[in-house]
Amino acid sequence: MSREFEQLRERVLGGGIGRTHAARYIAELRDHVEDLLAEEREAGRPPKEALARAMQRLGDVDALAEAMIARRELQAWSARAPVAAFVVAPLVMLGLVIALWIAALAALCVAARHAGWAPSDLARWTGRVASGAARLSNTSLPVLMGWILAGTAVRQRAPAGWPMLGLVVLAAVGAAVQVSVTVPFAGAPGELSLSTGLAGYWGRFALDLAATTAPYGLVSVWRGAHGSGREA
């Protein structure tokens, strides 16, 4: 019985149904099977026959899956709007995270200045923070956003097309947009620059793309083989 419900779960998730709705559907069907099984046992049938008849009365996996998949109002956002979920949203999140850490750095500089820090100490300490944050933003942040995108696609059993396009676009934008921050020092204003130069672009693009698509591809292949093995 568990194998049939696992197959059904994979089918409805692959059909775009949200994980919460899929879990609720499976739970309701399990409860219904238990009721049917109790009826068959009360009729005096042996355990194996009672279970077989209960599952037969419930319906086959294909019919149960199609009945759920047909309800478009239960589909996940990633299934209803894959372009927004896998292409647009990661870029928006990337921009928001960059804006947030820059705003946090600016607030830190203002707070330290009002706290009476010496200009040399302020520049040295905040300069290190700004340099480290910019380095992480320029190298690790696009990869992290890509992992989140890929994880969402795997969890939702989304077809690979849109997630792969999203990873390519994210790697391209992440490699192109490089943030540089200069903290204020001795009355001189700070400076924020966003460069889109091609210096080192293709290396960054290839690295970001490989760091996201390779794990996504491996996990997708593993899940496909694992699922096929269960259904065999």
Q: What string of DSSP letters covers 49-69?
A: HHHHHHHHHH--HHHHHHHHH
Handedness of CA 99, 101, 107, 110 (dihedral sign): negative
Name the band, by pLDDT with cuts 50, 70 and 90, for residue 223. confident
Concatenated DSSP letters of 159-185 = -SHHHHHHHHHHHHHHHH-EEEEE--B
Burial class from Cβ neighbours inside 10 Å (0-12, 13-18, 19+) for residue 215 reads middle
Alpha helices in the chain (DSSP H): 2-14, 19-42, 47-58, 61-69, 77-80, 82-83, 89-114, 119-156, 161-176, 201-231
Least confident of 44-48, 76-80, 106-110, 114-118: 114-118
d(C-alpha 146, C-alpha 100), whole Å:
19
Say if residue 109 is in the same domain as residue 151: yes
Say if residue 204 is in the same domain as residue 99: yes
Say if residue 86 is in the same domain as residue 64: no
Kindly report, residue by residue over 2-14, the tens digit of the pLDDT.
788 888 988 898 8
Number of structural domains (the chain) is 2
Least confident of 64-78, 109-123, 172-186: 109-123
Kindly report, residue by residue over 129-186, the tens digit of the pLDDT.
888 888 888 889 999 999 999 999 998 888 899 999 999 999 999 998 888 877 665 5
Say if residue 135 is in the same domain as residue 52: no
Average pLDDT over every residue of 182-207: 70
Residue 152's nearest CA partner among 69, 75, 73, 78 is: 78
Strand, helix or coil at 195?
Answer: strand
Query: Do residues 133 and 167 make contact, with C-beta atoms less than 8 angstroms apart?
Result: no
The last residue of a domain, from among 29, 48, 74: 74
Query: Do residues 81 and 158 make contact, with C-beta atoms less than 8 angstroms apart?
Result: no
Say if residue 98 is in the same domain as residue 196: yes
Q: Residue 27: which domain range?
A: 2-74
Q: What are the distances in angstroms from CA 4 to CA 1, 34, 123?
A: 5, 14, 63
pLDDT at 39 over 80: yes
The last residue of a domain, from among 56, 74, 92: 74
Say if residue 143 is in the same domain as residue 216: yes
- pLDDT score at 169: 96
Mean pLDDT, the chain, as a whole number?
Answer: 85
Encoded tokens for 177: 């947009």
- pLDDT score at 148: 95
Handedness of CA 109, 111, 112, 117 (dihedral sign): positive
pTM of the model: 0.76
